[in-house]
Structure 1
């Protein structure tokens, strides 16, 4: 994880109100320009663009107009109000379409900095009028959908009743006409906006916020002052790194991008959230079925808290996302550490508490000291006491594997046992029995599934976008309405389910095929995933092998790989000795084959900005694991071949890494006595194969031969052969080179010393057993000893036992011996000035 996670988090608050130019004046290192863009660009403006939300309203208004027209044509005696309402809806649809074009144009052409003409921070302005318009359209759609169903009925009596029964009274119709006319006027005004900020202002009813803007700016400046002070202090940076090992920002950004601008307002503007926010020591539990959008709603709550707190520095916000993709995020100590770090960043007095605890942990001789959940909870209570209110939001508790109960209990106690009534906690998860047992008495419950307006708006927007981009080509435009009403109606609140069905509709070749698919919708997410794997089963064997490899790699969450690295890794056939460029599978092809099982995301600079592929949802991994136990009498027993497990994933990943380290084209760069040339070869190798570096750096940590398959163990023996093969020498050079900061500093002195260390490692008396011992590979050591390696062999770094006790940092501590030539004397462990800490351990 990135070491600047604490600094990155604070920018969430700081960037709400201050333009980039002002942050740069204050010396904010997080807005340094990278390729013309900010390194950390995390504004709280709606991430998926306001134009996308408006496009969803356009699709809904079109549906209502067509339904209303159908009613008017079927019943000549329709009242005047019915005709007037339908005409107003037509006007609303047209003007909403124009508004979406204006919003899109402004989003594409406007520079990222706010214009001088409008000073409102975009995050403060919510499109309330669009939200109200959406509620009206939903009311119309609900009533008309029932009428339309009766008009299409096979019963003549029902059709006659539908023609006679308009779903709204005359008074209701007149009121709705007035509402539609009012929205038309508001939107007409918004069409004249010459900036995105002004457009949002026209669509907002929060005029009173203007009066507090100066206070917001001052608040942000004070927050930035703390941020800059910490960023310039090396000791404080170390505190942030040690307590912020898992950065919630990545998940925050991912879910923020999945959120439509109008979604979640039913919660953040509803009575449950208002009570939770305004009442001291209050709690909230939001639950929902898989794929219901819980994480997106958690982001909506975080943004709403940040917005409401903008004028009050005595209030603080902290959040965390537990995720199946990152096993480290599932530990209670990780959750509490991150919360402590985030809150400490928002107050000097709070930071002092964390600093003192850090000193207690790391100032002594025991460098392996780690914070405990009990002590972290105590410190978090003290830190929270530095604020008048702390809003803590934790999402994904159900994704914590076997740690669910412990984590829920830990967080519940944190909230219930506080002594100052300053913690307002909101938790988000599935409604699982073990979670409900811990929360049912003390956490008011909000069920997400019951609220389908977000799902409808999301789907309407997505459907319109797919049609506009030609991903979905419909000959019969009435099919668009059928797809929307049918899928939203069958979704049962599952965003994930409806997204998969829309993907499937785009893959079908004809309108008839789509109509047939609508009549045979899978009843669940697992049934949907069955359909995807059955389609993959129809491809040739090469494609199926590639898909299986990709699925197995994605199921192993201990290492984060880029899309390019995964494509390269799975393309190496088992019997191949080389890998050429034209043998590597294209990323787009893999995406097409895997369909809705995976998704691509490009995160910010905190992870290098690499494009990454991952399972589209937690349920995909759960489904693939469940295939292991699928009975033979299941409808599709053949799908068991796609089953995954953590153990299989580790073995497969280790196998791929060792394949890359031992294949022939890696050995084209044998090391020489000229260390400079050897290092140049390594750098050339990095550029040649992207998966080579992960192979060098990560496989050793998971090399447990007792869990290895025969083919993996065979490759391990090949790499760690006692005779020091070229592959081993290259790996030894590269792993030392990559682990030491000298490889980044590249000063002449550091390169000289590093070269001496590498040369010492490559000497004949330094064996693979020394390296295996230094990098904590007990099973590999056992293999080497059984193969005849000498446990007493004495290299420049001592015996293998010295290396085992010293660990991988053993080599680098010798770089303090700058006045001595590592190669010129005997073993370093015999010297007087040998590092005192290692002498004590030896």
Structure 2
């Protein structure tokens, strides 16, 4: 039975109502009441008819509306039938060609049957008004919900731009059905998943399939608890090529983002944090995000955190150790369950000492599933020979010895073989043992060398770009990179290579993550191999990449300089897909390029191109905004200092560039070079007559303070050896170089600074914090030990909120803080 309706149902009823209203135009006063009722029904019908096309009605609403429309038509039809009872149409021949007029009978009161129809019409009007009112209220609720959803999305996107979900989709799509089931069935995993506050550490050799196993665990948890809103699931995939997105604050922000977006609304604590930083256009600190993350985890009954590839977490400034420590602190405070994978790295294994552990190795069953699924990629004669297929599988399974990646490489090496004999010969030469990967990669490169010239050159271009790029490239970015023609002033899209061709010539060493559209080497070990052998396979890669980037940034499209609005800048980024990468990284490639450095100076002398590239170089990332424009007065000498381009800097100085020219942020070339740790350029600039060694930027920070805060030991040492540098200079927050270095845990820099004559060991910032108190607050044990054993450091510092941390850090009993100098770590 159908309960459908159409707008036509209302049009029919409206037309009938209007017809009847016209008939009532000359009706006696006793019928004015029903005439008005018909008029009201007509108006309400029209009101509903107007809004219907914009509505998405539920099934129940459609049934309700169908019944109301039907009732309205019925009562109007019944009323039309009564018209003949109380009046007749005048058929006077003199009125031929004119509308016939109804002649009404006369009566003294309203007939009973008319009263009954009035009641029915009134009832339909009430139903229609109620329905229309509910639609209006629903629309208002939906509008408010949409606005709230939009606000939530803005806040969630502001937290982090990294999307680990696309990586999860890529990894799980590569899994053969049933792979990893051995881990899900293991006693260790069952204990981990069924009890709170559990840790399961799963180390494995390179290429054992750790990342695929992590994706299997995430998929299992997501499926098992998909209908349980009290369970939180968040995960991280560490990648050595994405360390710019994997700072400590980025990691905790990403975990928070995943947990929040599964909740019906954004927590008030996160809304407050967003509002605090939105107007200032600043990013929240690690501690701020960590606090909100802890409260969010606590809102779930159980939270699972999965971390893949801890060995690929950056080591600078003790980031990996601190991250692991903070995750364990979160676990202690919230009862979360942690699953982590890593290579066999002693320092990481030590961190998980005492935790449940289960080694990840590619099982023979998983390897066989993979080989079964990929057998069709081999020559057709293999598919006609079941015996040969079994021989291939047995030989590869025996050779890989738990290294899943090796099975992939070995199978790929058989593609293109022309006969069963060629297959068997290759099988006899399969590499095994600790050097297996190097042998497999070398054989793959030898196959590439054996291709025709164009294919060989394309493969080497692809491999060199992926190996040397500072971050992962998208497929379209790499296509544009390879299409750049030296000396041209625009990109010819007819020169874009096809991604399928680019992958096919690389002998299985390159893969595309379809969800994220990024192109990468098949494994971390592939990257390590090419880093060791780059000088042999593509010795001029850095130069070639630098030339391509400089050529791209010199295109005519950038001749107008920087964009004046966010909209223009975003449009430029979208239209020129290599612009972002080239602007942010060309100088890093130029710094290590071996030839053609004259091109660098040519670019830096072109002010509008410098302005255009600097805009993308300094644009904020991971936020819902960009910096409009570019720092005024940001010239070639600033960019050379930022990237540490010594030769280019000398060339610019010979042309008479202003040494102490400041950009909008008050940064001089010396300050930029110091902040980024470029000792050669710092030494060059510091030796120039008349340079201001203590120039301050808009935050009051000097070159020494910036270098100290960023842990650049060599630069700090250089600056301290130069007379005239003030080691106690304070910024707008009262921070000194020693305070900054101590707060960041840079032990080597702290050691240099405390050895300086005249250094203020107990300087206080605007919050009354000293170097020692900041070191304690951030739990930098080595720095705390160094400071408390340094003569002149006052241990009687601000202790209120840090006393507990202090005592645990220096291992002294409360309340004798003054005994710290004799404590051991």
Encode CA deviations 1:9-38: one digit per residue, 9 max, x unaligned.
Answer: xxxxxxxxxxxxxxxxxxxxxxxxxxxxxx
If you compute each CA radius of gyration, which structure gives the higher value, 1 or 2? 2
C-alpha deviation, 1:513, in angstroms: 0.2
C-alpha deviation, 1:486, in angstroms: 1.7
Q: Is 1:619 paired with 2:528? A: no
C-alpha deviation, 1:701, in angstroms: 5.2
Tell me which residue corresponds to 1:271. 187
Secondary structure at the residue paired with 1:313? coil
C-alpha deviation, 1:412, in angstroms: 5.1
Q: Alignment partner for residue 262 of structure 1, among 153, 162, 178? A: 178
Tell me which residue corresponds to 1:492. 401
Secondary structure at the residue paired with 1:521? coil
Change in 2 beyond 3 A, CA 1:554/1:670: closer
Secondary structure at the residue paired with 1:596? coil
Tell me if the contact between 1:243 and 1:337 (Cα under 8 Å) persists in the aligned partners. Answer: yes
C-alpha deviation, 1:357, in angstroms: 4.1
Tell me which residue corresponds to 1:336. 252
Tell me which residue corresponds to 1:454. 366
Deviates more, 1:708-717 or 1:399-408: 399-408
Secondary structure at the residue paired with 2:358? strand
Q: Alignment partner for residue 382 of structure 1, among 288, 295, 306? A: 295
C-alpha deviation, 1:420, in angstroms: 4.9
Secondary structure at the residue paired with 2:470? coil
Tell me if the contact between 1:466 and 1:472 (Cα under 8 Å) persists in the aligned partners. Answer: no
Tell me which residue corresponds to 2:715. none
C-alpha deviation, 1:317, in angstroms: 0.8
Deviates more, 1:510-519 or 1:325-334: 325-334
Q: Alignment partner for residue 654 of structure 1, among 546, 550, 562? A: 546
C-alpha deviation, 1:255, in angstroms: 0.3
Tell me which residue corresponds to 1:197. none
Secondary structure at the residue paired with 1:431? coil
CA distance in 2, matches of 1:707, 1:401: 22
Tell me if the contact between 2:550 and 2:586 (Cα under 8 Å) persists in the aligned partners. Answer: no
Tell me if the contact between 2:550 and 2:600 (Cα under 8 Å) persists in the aligned partners. Answer: yes
Tell me which residue corresponds to 1:308. 224
* Residues 542-621 of structure 1: pairs in structure 2 closer than 5 A: 543-570=455-482, 572=484, 585-603=497-515, 611-621=517-527
Runs of at least 5 residues in structure 1 that lack an aligned partner in the other structure: 1-115, 117-224, 605-610, 629-639, 746-753, 793-798, 808-835
CA distance in 2, matches of 1:540, 1:625: 25
Secondary structure at the residue paired with 1:391? strand
Change in 2 beyond 3 A, CA 1:450/1:549: closer
CA distance in 1, matches of 2:654, 2:183: 65
Q: Is 1:428 paired with 2:323? A: no
C-alpha deviation, 1:424, in angstroms: 0.8
Tell me if the contact between 1:288 and 1:447 (Cα under 8 Å) persists in the aligned partners. Answer: yes
Deviates more, 1:242-251 or 1:729-738: 729-738
Tell me which residue corresponds to 1:288. 204
Q: Is 1:352 paired with 2:268? A: yes
Change in 2 beyond 3 A, CA 1:230/1:387: farther
CA distance in 2, matches of 1:264, 1:561: 29
C-alpha deviation, 1:694, in angstroms: 1.7
C-alpha deviation, 1:584, in angstroms: 5.1
Tell me if the contact between 2:241 and 2:471 (Cα under 8 Å) persists in the aligned partners. Answer: no
Tell me which residue corresponds to 1:124. none
Tell me if the contact between 2:590 and 2:597 (Cα under 8 Å) persists in the aligned partners. Answer: no
Q: Alignment partner for residue 703 of structure 1, among 555, 577, 587? A: 587
Tell me if the contact between 2:314 and 2:320 (Cα under 8 Å) persists in the aligned partners. Answer: no
CA distance in 2, matches of 1:448, 1:378: 33
C-alpha deviation, 1:477, in angstroms: 3.5
CA distance in 2, matches of 1:314, 1:739: 41
Change in 2 beyond 3 A, CA 1:693/1:711: farther
C-alpha deviation, 1:479, in angstroms: 0.5
Tell me if the contact between 1:288 and 1:429 (Cα under 8 Å) persists in the aligned partners. Answer: yes
Runs of at least 5 residues in structure 2 that lack an aligned partner in the other structure: 1-58, 60-140, 669-697, 701-730, 733-825
Tell me which residue corresponds to 2:310. 397
Q: Is 1:440 paired with 2:353? A: yes
Tell me which residue corresponds to 1:466. 377
CA distance in 1, matches of 2:477, 2:613: 18
Q: Alignment partner for residue 655 of structure 2, among 788, 808, 824? A: 788
Q: Is 1:243 paired with 2:159? A: yes
CA distance in 2, matches of 1:410, 1:739: 27
Q: Alignment partner for residue 529 of structure 1, among 431, 441, 455? A: 441
Q: Is 1:694 paired with 2:578? A: yes
Encode CA deviations 1:192-246: one digit per residue, 9 max, x unaligned.
Answer: xxxxxxxxxxxxxxxxxxxxxxxxxxxxxxxxx9999597356544432332232
Tell me if the contact between 2:483 and 2:492 (Cα under 8 Å) persists in the aligned partners. Answer: no
C-alpha deviation, 1:506, in angstroms: 1.6
Encode CA deviations 1:688-710: one digit per residue, 9 max, x unaligned.
Answer: xx8x5424664255525982536
C-alpha deviation, 1:484, in angstroms: 1.5
Secondary structure at the residue paired with 1:599? strand
Change in 2 beyond 3 A, CA 1:641/1:231: farther
Deviates more, 1:570-579 or 1:303-312: 570-579
C-alpha deviation, 1:277, in angstroms: 1.0
CA distance in 2, matches of 1:785, 1:562: 34
* Residues 116-195 of structure 1: pairs in structure 2 closer than 5 A: none
Change in 2 beyond 3 A, CA 1:403/1:492: farther
| Greater RCO structure (CA 8 Å; 6+ sep) | 1
Encode CA deviations 1:670-722: one digit per residue, 9 max, x unaligned.
Answer: 9699x99xx99x99x999xx8x542466425552598253645311222233x
Q: TM-score, normalised by structure 1?
A: 0.53
Encode CA deviations 1:516-571: one digit per residue, 9 max, x unaligned.
Answer: 11111111122110111122233466655443332221124534433344244335
Change in 2 beyond 3 A, CA 1:244/1:591: same
Tell me which residue corresponds to 2:237. 321
Encode CA deviations 1:740-779: one digit per residue, 9 max, x unaligned.
Answer: 99xxx9xxxxxxxx9xx89xx9xxxx98838957996675
Q: Alignment partner for residue 635 of structure 2, among 735, 751, 769? A: 769
Q: TM-score, normalised by structure 2?
A: 0.54
Q: Alignment partner for residue 392 of structure 2, among 483, 490, 498? A: 483
Change in 2 beyond 3 A, CA 1:344/1:612: closer
CA distance in 1, matches of 2:308, 2:537: 29
C-alpha deviation, 1:431, in angstroms: 2.4
CA distance in 2, matches of 1:661, 1:261: 46
C-alpha deviation, 1:512, in angstroms: 0.6
Tell me which residue corresponds to 2:101. none
CA distance in 1, matches of 2:142, 2:537: 51
Change in 2 beyond 3 A, CA 1:344/1:534: same
RMSD after superposition: 4.7
Change in 2 beyond 3 A, CA 1:243/1:228: farther
Change in 2 beyond 3 A, CA 1:403/1:449: farther
Secondary structure at the residue paired with 2:338? strand
Change in 2 beyond 3 A, CA 1:228/1:447: farther
Change in 2 beyond 3 A, CA 1:336/1:705: closer
Change in 2 beyond 3 A, CA 1:702/1:233: farther
Secondary structure at the residue paired with 2:512? strand
Secondary structure at the residue paired with 2:508? helix
Change in 2 beyond 3 A, CA 1:350/1:403: farther
Q: Is 1:297 paired with 2:216? A: no
* Residues 365-380 of structure 1: pairs in structure 2 closer than 5 A: 367-372=281-286, 376-380=289-293
C-alpha deviation, 1:651, in angstroms: 5.7
C-alpha deviation, 1:497, in angstroms: 0.9
